Amino acid sequence: MTGDGLLRPVVWVHGDCLDPGGPALAVHPGAPALWVWDDALLEHWGIGLKRIVFITECLLELPVAIRRGVVPTGVIAFAREHGADHVVTTDSPSPRFRAIVAAVETEFPVVVLPVPPFLPYAGPIDLSRFGAYWDVAKRHVFGQPPLF
């Protein structure tokens, strides 16, 4: 129970938290959980097969149903199918995330759990490519860029 009368959650897992120990799955380990392949995002970002395979391999280690389509529509349908009274997910810095949460909130309350930071950094980060993120992160993780 969340303290506000919500008893039947479903968990929405997204690409910014594919961790089996991530906050949403950890707080609700027995709740039905869902991943939705975002068709529009795949096309817009031109996500390649190697990344799709990598994400799929990560998903196979999670207790999630895997679907595809329009994310808010899929999350709402999944919540209805499971008789949920709210959706739980893990926070994301993505502006797209905020829009999805807002769309789901037209039908269900959404509880967004914070993610512990990977590293202590408050400056700007380019999240469009992992390499750009890692160029900044490695200086804080290792103290300096690795020699290799």
If we measure between CA atoms, which residue out of 26, 4, 8, 12 comes closest to residue 91?
12
Same domain, yes or no: 143 and 109? no
Residue 42 is predicted with a pLDDT of 86
Q: Is residue 3 part of a domain?
A: no
Give alpha helix (H) positions in the chain: 23-27, 39-45, 49-59, 71-81, 95-104, 130-142
In the chain, % of residues over pLDDT 90: 57
Residue 141 lies in domain: 120-148
pTM: 0.79
User: Which CATH number fits the domain that encloses residue 57?
Assistant: 3.40.50.620
Q: Is residue 82 part of a domain?
A: yes
Q: What is the pLDDT of residues 116-146, one digit of tens each?
A: 776 667 777 777 777 877 777 777 777 655 4
Residue 111 has pLDDT above 50, yes or no: yes
Q: Is residue 4 part of a domain?
A: no
Q: Is residue 53 part of a domain?
A: yes
Q: What is the mean pLDDT of residues 49-74?
A: 94
